[in-house]
Chains A and B, each alone.
Chain A
């Protein structure tokens, strides 16, 4: 395994450690409790107050200096990951399952998984050997309905220990790759959560006059659900979703990817308020933060899509961390992208002034 250099450990050590921990937390959509507890604990280190709402969103608040009303900015990163859920126990103790969130079944076959019972069970997504398949079967991808998880226990034990509805996540220890890159599961969007938590830490060392709401949202992968309720509750003046974007790789359409290691991507399109876009770009330029522009012609597919239409409308922006092999157990990110995203968010929030509360909605004369 590549050994970090000294410089590496100063610049990336804390982020690397945090990302490893976040990546390995189990937290499929709607069943994020373990992730909620840990992320709330980290938010507590940097925020004035932390609470959890009815759906489980973790909301940390850092209040700015200066008189009220201060501009209120919401930073959202979803903490849920895609996963599986047990639908039925078959004869022999094999577990049938359905996806939680958008899974490509082709990347699921022959994966090691963790069945989230108490205590958790090791599982394996079993495969039918090719010599038992007819030629038609060999030609097509295995449908998810035909897959099963084997936990290596007798049927009676399985029925006792694994109720229908038990969540499952892929099992994949976080691994450092060359340089500043790393691989693991759930980096969509623990990379975003990591950047947001790091931004909270950075902001603690800055003077700022906005009220900053750090929200680790739930259930993004099943319909941006946590963003809907948290934005309603917080009533922000502006909101930024921090999520991952498609990192460039061979075979992907070149106009739909962002460069890995080239810094956060700042989106442009109907889901983004032009003034907020400009402010983010300006912040990046002023502070020498490498960044890229990402056109998004329709839905961003992020929490910002939901937050924008909360109540009477919220100015929103989207900042994306480049990530390869999205929604698989082998996601790859560059720590430098996470670090620069954190800087962008913290410096953006610190740059807000009282005047940023105004003008998003304006009277005409």
Chain B
């Protein structure tokens, strides 16, 4: 299962090459050509000679993680976060560091030694460090240098009933979907873009979209799903198992209405369960893509994932499958609908 492999590969923003290599293996026989650009985006295409709209499908390869910034005299590693991570999820997690994947654990003060009341305050990343079992700075320096990345070491597994757990479903789920879609042939040019640096500012998608100059774009994401105890119904964003989530607005873009309507029609026509994403915060690569050059109609479709941006997320297999069906259906309907998509 490709998603298992993609989930377990480390690929923090700026260090996506292992993910890219694995994806390239998976798609090389499915596409006409591909290139890696100066930032590390993988841009693959098929049907480039065909008439019709240039369609960009984007999923980001990078994940949130850590960077080693300093090795202290005890041989412990200081780090800073790469991308948005809640400090409170960090204590007592395992990580893999650098190209060799050196294992380490995130340590901090034991609860017995906390000052009264301290256990009620959120822990700060500044008070934590990574321990790789070294006895001295010198021992660390043989295997780890400042500037190396660390990713969560989380095993992928099937749990519950049709649910998978693992790290980086945001957005390896989107990557896996895009690999699946590239197996299909379409009567128009398709650019499958696996982007870098989404988590630190939608940066890879920006230059890739400039390069591809698409007529329209779909962003495939793993998104927040907070149907959990204590969450008000209007704060949940999405519901687990209720199908792909279509975004109506977020902090970085207001999706193209014709594209959104096309997605809804594609789902309804095929009886595919789907849902609106019911919050408007956060952002996706669509935020930078839609402002490229003269403007690009763009929309985002997401697989709901509980606990994203933490070391371990849950994804429902039926949501993944229904997202795949929806995207495929939308692309099948596209030639008929394309005429109405441009301009407003």
Binding site for B on A (CB under 8 A): 253-256, 268-271, 273, 293, 295, 297-299, 308-315, 360-364
Residues of B within 8 A of A310 (CB): 207
Binding site for A on B (CB under 8 A): 13-15, 24, 28, 33-39, 41-42, 66-70, 72, 78, 80-83, 126, 145-147, 197, 200-201, 203-204, 206-208, 210-211
User: Taking CB as reference atom, which chain B residue is nearest A316?
Assistant: B38
CA distance A150 to B325 in the complex (A): 69
Residues of A within 8 A of B83 (CB): 298
Residues of B within 8 A of A269 (CB): 14, 67, 147
Q: Which of A270, A293, A309, A315 contacts B206 (CB 8 A)?
A: A309
Nearest CB on A from B69, distance (A): 4
A361 engages B36 (CB within 8 Å): yes
Residues of B within 8 A of A308 (CB): 39, 203
B203 engages A315 (CB within 8 Å): no
B35 engages A361 (CB within 8 Å): yes
CA distance A51 to B274 in the complex (A): 56
User: Taking CB as reference atom, which chain A residue is nearest B72?
Assistant: A254
Pull 11 A–B residue pairs with CB atoms less than 8 Å apart, ordered by A.
A254-B72, A255-B70, A255-B78, A295-B67, A295-B68, A295-B147, A298-B200, A310-B207, A313-B37, A361-B35, A361-B36
CA distance A211 to B35 in the complex (A): 26
A312 engages B38 (CB within 8 Å): yes
A270 engages B35 (CB within 8 Å): no
- Ordered nearest first, which 4 A-B pairs have the shortest CB separation? A270-B14, A268-B147, A313-B207, A255-B70
Residues of A within 8 A of B68 (CB): 295
Residues of B within 8 A of A271 (CB): 14
B211 engages A312 (CB within 8 Å): yes
User: Taking CB as reference atom, which chain B residue is nearest A275?
Assistant: B38
CA distance A272 to B14 in the complex (A): 8
A360 engages B67 (CB within 8 Å): no
Residues of A within 8 A of B80 (CB): 255-256, 295, 297
Q: Which of A311, A315, A360, A364 contacts B34 (CB 8 A)?
A: A364
User: Taking CB as reference atom, which chain B residue is nearest A362?
Assistant: B36
Q: Which of B15, B35, B38 contacts A364 (CB 8 A)?
A: B35
Residues of B within 8 A of A315 (CB): 38
Residues of B within 8 A of A313 (CB): 37-39, 41, 204, 207-208, 210-211
| Listed residue (B41, B80, B126) with the most chain A CB atoms within 10 angstroms of its CB | B80
CA distance A308 to B197 in the complex (A): 11
Nearest CB on A from B254, distance (A): 22
User: Taking CB as reference atom, which chain B residue is nearest A314?
Assistant: B38
Residues of B within 8 A of A360 (CB): 38
Residues of B within 8 A of A364 (CB): 24, 28, 33-36, 42
B35 engages A309 (CB within 8 Å): no
Nearest CB on A from B13, distance (A): 5
